[in-house]
């Protein structure tokens, strides 16, 4: 009997379920693993459920590209907050940020084409490119996990179709300065490439503002801007995100989403309308609390000096540790769960084949639990590294 | 600047939005177009929303393969109603039947592989195969839209990976007899192919029972069985479906769904648990009403004799008309909307390049409106064909 396709054999196994399995086998483990926040959606979101239920037609399929009311609410947010206009562009509601990325890749990359990702990359991005039969081309970020536009330029070949960036970054927490994003967007324009920029963590900045390359004059021609409700609005399980796309790709994106999904879940789209009404002000309070957790996390990490320089991690809710050791990261992750009751994600999941990296997420836990988890992590690493 | 990928240029434009656009421009048109039912979900489904909201963890991501409680409910239904056991197989919850199909294609077909579809095909199946970089190989059904296993066998090449069947069928309403489905399933087993069988319309049979090829002894090894909540439970906009897959493909399907979606919307999965509790008995009442509509529809179609032999259309809520005319079906569709206020779907959307076919859907309307629409269709066609 047949086996799975070679394409799927070539796609890495998602590591989150592997670590989740480890956690299940070690009850009491504090997970600094999955990239979610600890809170649920604003009351305004849940109030919309009644409005959804009041209209029987809402149980039928709705437009592939999203409810017009939600598209309008997003368009307004984009104009006011991001400086992104939809002139020459369109906003498409998706079932989450991952689907927005898959739509983008299918729309622009053919089999055998190349897509430039920055390492460490977000694993589902690499998986989507591979699944689509295209090739991820990996460009390293620098020691502070910042973009290296010259290295990107050097990686471009005649098969390159797109450059992917994420800021604030998953998995590193790095925030790219406006100048770097402008450089990448200009590089793409000059070389006839698409710039696919993921802004899922746009509200999670602690030391700077957020910059959307889609706001650059003329960028709408070649820029995808990807958004998610999952993080800022505590909306992960509802599956609503969206994407700004160049208008001439609308037909392609409609075909893709119609075939994969038909339309994003409509009850969730109603809730999203309510969430956007609560808006950034509602999110900002939660982000402030996360900012305080981040301070505590970064303080705690000072104790790793000597074998791990704590990174600045200005955004999202991730800290990426680069450990000075020949140990394999997955072994380290297993020891940390088994011996110290704390779970993190190995850097291998993010395309880091050399060195020993760990992704620490502090978003999913109440502050006291997150700090307790960091305590375990720091004590565990110090013990494993023989530092007293 | 770049254009859309060649892969997406090769994918047909979905016709449903084109017809929807025609309808919008001609207010008062009765749509016999889209494949949805007129009713919404059972009260048991909506009651589950409170249970979803009562648990804050429900806002976070849940397992890629579905909530265990929903998987169990489906497993029970499959055992009792379909005779499908999950020994050696797994059930995976998806965001609708389309996603189940995309998961299956990605899991088994590589770029350049061939997948056999029956014409007329369901357009999103053809689109999914093309998007995945594989090739749809089209095998005609017979004059009664029934399977032709010999023609299928003749179409198999070394690149063939899977055979797709749908029963009850979209777009023809044909129900395949057990013997034919057994023949296809055996052919696939003998030739080392996957059998991907779509049962989205399983409850919509009016003259016979329903047979699941996944219930054949040993079929679980090479058979995908695809299900949808959208039709029977009036659940289209909630996006919940599912698939029985051979266990050895679980890793591949997890990777695919994690990358495209992460997990099906969790509020919808709760509602689906409630819907399955209402169960087939609740659906059966609505299907009985649709059966009465079907009788009226088939009676009305008798008036087309002479230029259209009414098909038997034993299942789903579709009738596929084969018209004896050199007219192009899209032209006919446009005339029917403009001049007679009734919309149907042209057969070209289903891969029928020769002849003039129309798909008529009678599921989405109250019986009186459906019958009024059929009246317009029959009068319109008789007038266009010059029959008094």
Q: Domain spans of chain B?
A: 6-40+281-384, 50-278
Please say whether the beta carbons of B59 and A271 come within 8 A.
no
pLDDT band at A183 (very low <50, low <70, confident <90, very high): very high
Coil, strand, or helix at residue B138? Answer: strand
A238 touches chain B (CB under 8 A): yes
Q: How far apart are CA A144 and CA A385, in angstroms?
A: 23
Q: Which two tokens stand for residue A199?
A: 């802004």
Q: How far apart are CA B56 and CA A301, in angstroms?
A: 30
Q: B270-304, pLDDT tens digit by residue?
A: 999 999 999 999 999 999 999 999 999 999 999 99
Helix or strand (DSSP H, E) at B142: none
- Terminal Cα-to-Cα distance of chain B (whole angstroms): 56
Coil, strand, or helix at residue B52? Answer: helix
pLDDT band at A169 (very low <50, low <70, confident <90, very high): very high
Q: How far apart are CA A48 and CA A34, in angstroms?
A: 28
Q: Which residues of B touch A222 (CB under 8 A)?
A: 1-2
Rounded mean pLDDT, B158-177: 98
Helix or strand (DSSP H, E) at B346: strand B345-346
Residue B16 scores a pLDDT above 90: no
Residue B388 scores a pLDDT above 80: no
Distance from the Cα of B337 to chain A's closest Cα (Å) equals 20
Residue A128 scores a pLDDT above 70: yes
Q: Which of B287, B133, B282 is nearest to A112 (CA)?
A: B133
- pLDDT of B17 reads 78
Could you give the ipTM of this predicted complex? 0.96
Q: Which residues of B touch A64 (CB under 8 A)?
A: 14, 17
A265 and B261 within 8 Å at the Cβ level: the answer is: no
A4 and B107 within 8 Å at the Cβ level: the answer is: yes
Q: Which residues of A touch B235 (CB under 8 A)?
A: 59
Q: How far apart are CA B18 and CA B345, in angstroms?
A: 10
B6 touches chain A (CB under 8 A): yes
A268 and B264 within 8 Å at the Cβ level: the answer is: no
**Residues 133-172, chain A: which have Cβ within 8 Å of B?**
133, 161
Q: Quick check: do A6-40+281-384 and A43-278 share a fold?
A: no
Please say whether the beta carbons of B104 and B250 come within 8 A.
no
Please say whether the beta carbons of B199 and B91 come within 8 A.
no
B43 touches chain A (CB under 8 A): no
Q: How far apart are CA B261 and CA B94, in angstroms?
A: 9
Q: B176-188, pLDDT tens digit by residue?
A: 999 999 999 999 9
Residue B49 scores a pLDDT above 80: yes
Alpha-helical runs (H) found in chain B: 6-10, 15-25, 43-54, 68-77, 97-108, 123-131, 149-155, 178-191, 250-260, 266-301, 329-340, 367-384
A237 and B267 within 8 Å at the Cβ level: the answer is: yes
Rounded mean pLDDT, A262-290: 97
- The full length of chain B comes to 388
Q: Which residues of A touch B132 (CB under 8 A)?
A: 133
**Cα A95–chain centre separation:** 14
For A363, phi and psi rounded to 5 degrees?
A: -85, -30
Q: Which of A228-237, A365-374, B187-196 has the lowest mean pLDDT?
A: A365-374
Among A2, A16, A97, A188, most B C-beta atoms within 10 A, so best to mutate, is: A2
B237 and A46 within 8 Å at the Cβ level: the answer is: no
Q: Which of A125-129, A213-217, A295-299, A384-388 has the lowest mean pLDDT?
A: A384-388
B302 upstream amide cis, omega within 30 of 0? no
Q: Is B6-40+281-384 CATH 3.90.1150.10?
A: yes
Rounded mean pLDDT, A33-40: 90
Q: B237-257, pLDDT tens digit by residue?
A: 999 999 999 999 999 999 999
CATH of domain A43-278: 3.40.640.10
Coil, strand, or helix at residue B175? Answer: coil
Distance from the Cα of A43 to chain B's closest Cα (Å) equals 11
B237 touches chain A (CB under 8 A): yes
CATH of domain B50-278: 3.40.640.10
Distance from the Cα of A30 to chain B's closest Cα (Å) equals 15
- Long-range residue pairs from B28-31, CB within 8 A, at least 24 positions apart, any chain: B28/B341, B29/B337, B29/B341, B29/B342, B29/B343, B30/B341, B30/B342, B30/B343, B30/B365, B30/B369, B30/B372, B30/B373, B30/B376, B31/B342, B31/B343, B31/B364, B31/B365, B31/B373
Name the residue in chain B with its Cα closest to that of A64. B17
Say which residue the tokens 């266009």 belong to: B384
B111 and A133 within 8 Å at the Cβ level: the answer is: yes
Distance from the Cα of A36 to chain B's closest Cα (Å) equals 7
Distance from the Cα of A199 to chain B's closest Cα (Å) equals 17
For A360, phi and psi rounded to 5 degrees?
A: -110, 125
């Amino acid at each position: 009997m047949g086996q799975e396709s070679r394409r799927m054999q070539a796609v890495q196994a998602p590591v989150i379920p592997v670590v989740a399995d480890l956690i299940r086998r070690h009850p009491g483990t504090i997970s600094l693993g999955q990239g979610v926040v600890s809170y649920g959606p604003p009351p305004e979101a849940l109030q919309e459920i009644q409005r959804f239920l009041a209209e029987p037609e809402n149980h039928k399929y709705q437009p592939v590209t999203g409810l017009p009311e939600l598209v309008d609410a997003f368009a307004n947010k984009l104009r006011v907050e991001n400086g992104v206009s939809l002139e020459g562009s369109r906003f498409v509601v998706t079932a989450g940020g991952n689907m927005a990325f898959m739509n983008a890749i299918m729309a622009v990359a053919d089999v055998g084409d190349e897509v430039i990702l920055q390492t460490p990359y977000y694993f589902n991005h690499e998986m989507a490119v591979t699944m689509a039969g295209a090739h991820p081309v990996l460009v390293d970020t620098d020691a502070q996990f910042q973009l290296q536009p010259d290295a990107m330029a050097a990686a471009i070949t005649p098969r390159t179709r797109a450059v992917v960036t994420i800021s604030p970054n998953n998995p590193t927490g790095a925030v790219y300065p406006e100048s770097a994003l402008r450089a990448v967007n200009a590089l793409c324009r000059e070389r006839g490439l698409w710039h696919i920029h993921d802004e899922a963590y746009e509200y999670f900045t602690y030391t700077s503002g957020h910059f959307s390359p889609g706001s650059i004059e003329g960028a709408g021609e070649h820029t995808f801007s990807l958004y998610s409700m999952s993080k800022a609005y505590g909306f992960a399980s509802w599956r609503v995100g969206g994407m700004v796309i160049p208008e001439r790709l609308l037909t392609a994106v409609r075909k893709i989403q119609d075939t994969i999904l038909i339309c994003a879940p409509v009850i969730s789209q109603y809730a999203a309308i309510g969430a956007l009404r609560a808006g950034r002000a509602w999110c900002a309070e939660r982000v402030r609390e996360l900012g305080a957790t981040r301070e505590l996390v970064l303080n705690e990490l000072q104790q790793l000096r000597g074998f791990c320089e704590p990174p600045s991690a200005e955004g999202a809710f991730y800290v990426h540790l680069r450990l000075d050791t020949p140990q394999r990261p997955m072994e380290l992750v297993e020891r940390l769960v088994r011996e110290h009751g704390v779970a993190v994600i190995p850097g291998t999941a993010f395309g880091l084949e050399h060195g020993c990296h760990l992704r620490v997420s502090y978003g999913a836990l109440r502050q006291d639990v997150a700090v307790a988890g960091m305590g375990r992590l720091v004590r565990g690493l110090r013990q494993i590294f023989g530092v007293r």
